[in-house]
A = this chain, B = another copy of it.
């Protein structure tokens, strides 16, 4: 895409009311727009990035047999009354509203209830199980405070996977598959090294759950990390009893601040019993379905990547989620040959399937470089009088700052999508 055509522009200053680094940088770089506190629109660059995060997660959910569907924001209150999660005294972050046709509805805070009902219409026999289904859907949570940018919004995108099994053992197999898929997912998203499966409270569902916690000073959670085992324990369950159960010793653990980027739960039969999701076993007896739930917030992941990888110049995207693979910067300074060379390279990269943001604007080099650093595209390729004379373009890696000089053919060969995905 030509940057001259992109409607967003970068800004020097972050909005004064934004305290979160992720929101400051993403707004300055033109990736998101704040509608209200905790409510952000995703502008073209931001949507491209969010879609990359979504696609990576989707591939891993499909790989473990997840079937994608999409449920609704508007919720049938009768369902939530049956699981005792409608009452504001029990669940305190509903957005509720009235139907003109009569009655009350609320905006989905999560989707165990509606999916359990859907499954109750399709699952009747042991032959129908096990299965897993997931969606990408906006959740709405009426948070009292919203100061973490896109890491904790009042309206945010969630990937929620749910598993349905005949027995606890079968449920455990699904849980293990989802857990392994989560580890792969955070690896792909460039957060694997700093993201720890973390023992945490199971809340109302079970004794324990596992969170995926990414080390960051912007985190709201305190965790205790075991580097060797690459696992951690959330402060909320950091007791002698829990540590003994997990075979961990206090002296081996290090306290860190972290961001919760995912959470996986055993749900048992809490929802299936309340909502009548049962199957007939091989002997013809009715049994409740054993469930699990597995969440990752793609927008929160995107914010976390900014928090963790950004440097003093701006955002640094991993290749897997960058809005473009290459930021082609033309410094023609009115030189028609340089302009023609840059245009040709843009055409050649694009026709090789490489996603390129082409800075074809009539602007100074300093401005173009500052914008490029702020936006965080992994590879900047400069075409100027100097590079034209040398016969090689200048390639600067955003993350390492490493500079290489390559002919156009060498460059295209190194960034072709087949090559990047093949690694």
Contact = CB atoms under 8 A, between A and B. Distances in A.
Contacts of A122: 7-9, 30
B144 A100 contact: yes
B7 A73 contact: no
Contact of A7 (B36, B67, B72, B74): B67
Contacts of A144: 100-101
A21 interface: no
A128 B69 contact: no
A42 interface: yes
Interface in A40-80: 40-44, 46-47, 65, 67-76
Q: SS class of chain A's interface: helix, strand, loop or mixed?
A: mixed
Interface residues of A, number: 58
Interface stretch (A89-97, A171-179, A367-375, A393-401): A89-97
Nearest to A71: B41
27 contacts: A7-B67, A7-B133, A33-B121, A35-B71, A35-B72, A35-B74, A35-B76, A36-B76, A39-B72, A39-B76, A41-B71, A41-B114, A41-B118, A43-B118, A44-B68, A46-B69, A47-B69, A73-B73, A73-B138, A73-B140, A74-B155, A93-B100, A95-B105, A97-B97, A99-B142, A100-B143, A101-B144
What 7 A-B pairs have minimum CB-CB distances, sorted nearest first? A41-B71, A97-B97, A95-B97, A100-B142, A39-B74, A44-B67, A42-B70
